[in-house]
Amino acid sequence: MPVNLTAPDPASLLPVAGLELGTAQAGIRKANRRDVLLARLAPGTTAAGVFTRNRFCAAPVQICREHLALNQGVRALVVNTGNANAGTGAQGLSAARDTCAAVARLMGCEPSQVLPFSTGVILEQLPVDRLVAGLPQALADLKPANWAQAAEAIMTTDTLPKAFSRRVQVGGAQAVVTGMSKGAGMIRPNMGTMLGFVATDAAVPQELLQQWVREAADASFNRITIDGDTSTNDSFVLLATGAGGMRVDSAASAQGQALREAIVEVARLLAQAIVRDGEGATKFITVQIEGAGNAREADAVAYAIAHSPLIKTAFFASDPNLGRILCAIGYAGIDDLDQTKIDLYLGDVHVARQGGRHPDYLEEDGQRVMKEAEITVRAVLNRGSAATTVWTCDLSHDYVSINADYRS
């Protein structure tokens, strides 16, 4: 049961001029399931991406990086679910290249103008023939209004599609920002979620788009974790078709600021949606660290808390076993941490002061907060002024069930 997340109302998803989406049932892993997504982009579209830092990155991630580096423009995206095309060696790279070539033939563009994405099982060869055979169906389905269908086609263990839109208006110019994401497990994006796409019909220069994709990732997909496993396939791509009326020349302009804000907001909603739909999730947890000596410390403490199976099972049980949080702060790797300076809050409840149980802390107050579906943990280290926020979920029986049975 996702935490405070529902399927997007298709009417709420604004088409992005210059971007059409089409899906197909290619039978990549299972029959009768839309498992291929094709996106056609108007000439002149700029694109920028950030990708997994996993050194065992999938073949399509390698090809995406290569094609973006060539900087010959992006005219199409192709996404398949059911197979990650990771751990597939040279054959996997060929499969990804063959996929791009097939899309290029259908679209009338260069293979290097196609970005491929895969998600699903690792260590099995991509059935590229079936994928290619499904492309004409996706091509025939291309429509700007297909965001809801597209968001559904890229799901794996997701229980709900994830997509959001924002409209930006500055003076007389309008722009649309619409995005979708997928992912529910193997999520500790150091980079993007498993897959995230955000598009705008504004015109944005390549360099600015590259800056924004990093900033948006750092404020969204890089701030979430479900199980600490950084996937082989994480990809987050930002697209600007330029087919709408807004032209952004600099980040500092009024239009630039407004558009950037909308892009970051959509990315953050998409990232949080992944946590809300995390495998087996019953709680949405916000971990805030304040007073850290530097950003690295703040992140280390936040992720130690967000990754601890002991803390995550306590959230699942609504058990205010909060010593486990102090324990995680202690092993986060700050060598000169002074435990007697630490404050811990659960929601509005002051749990620990100077590293010890607050004299006024009552178990029933902790219990009250733990029963909520959205919980904020706040730790103040009193070492400096760095702060961070990370979003995660609890660890439930269903997480084990889902991952024990994923391939069956």
- The interface with its own copies within residues 364-403 (CB under 8 A) comprises 395-397, 399-401, 403
Q: Please identify, using beta-carbon distances, which residue of 134 and 366 lies nearer to its own copies.
A: 366
d(C-alpha 351, C-alpha 363), whole Å: 9
Report the residue from 118, 231, 272, 388 that binds its own copies according to the rule CB under 8 A.
231
Query: 230 an active-site residue?
Result: no
Q: Please identify, using beta-carbon distances, which residue of 102 and 351 lies nearer to its own copies.
A: 351
Query: Which residues, numbered 81-110, are part of the site for its own copies (CB under 8 A)?
Result: 84, 86-92
334 binds its own copies (CB under 8 A): yes
Shortest Cβ 132–its own copies spacing (Å): 21
Q: At 343, list the tokens.
A: 């404050």
Which position among 193, 200, 232, 388 bears the catalytic label?
193
Binding range to its own copies, per CB under 8 A, among 5-13, 145-153, 253-261, 304-312: 304-312
Q: Contacts with its own copies: how many residues (CB under 8 A)?
A: 73
What's 74-124 look like in SS3? Answer: CCEEEEEEEECCCCCHHHHHHHHHHHHHHHHHHHCCCHHHEEEEEEEECCC
The tally of CA atoms less than 13 A away on the side-chain side of residue 131 is 28
Burial 47-86 (b: 16+ CB within 10 A, else e): bbbbbbebeebbbbbbbbeebbeeeebbbbbbbbbbbbbb
Q: Please identify, using beta-carbon distances, which residue of 20 and 297 lies nearer to its own copies.
A: 297
Q: Please identify, using beta-carbon distances, which residue of 205 and 323 lies nearer to its own copies.
A: 323
Q: At 59, list the tokens.
A: 């073949």
What totals of helices (H) and strands (E) does the chain contain, helices first? 11, 15
Query: Which residues, numbered 40-59, are part of the site for its own copies (CB under 8 A)?
Result: 52-57
Asked whether 181 and 269 are in contact (CB, 8 A), the reply is no
d(C-alpha 243, C-alpha 238), whole Å: 15
324 binds its own copies (CB under 8 A): yes
Residue type, 179: G
Binding range to its own copies, per CB under 8 A, among 22-30, 161-169, 204-212, 229-237: 229-237
Shortest Cβ 202–its own copies spacing (Å): 34
Shortest Cβ 284–its own copies spacing (Å): 18
d(C-alpha 239, C-alpha 49), whole Å: 9
Report the residue from 2, 185, 192, 256 that binds its own copies according to the rule CB under 8 A.
185
Shortest Cβ 176–its own copies spacing (Å): 35
Catalytic residue list: 193
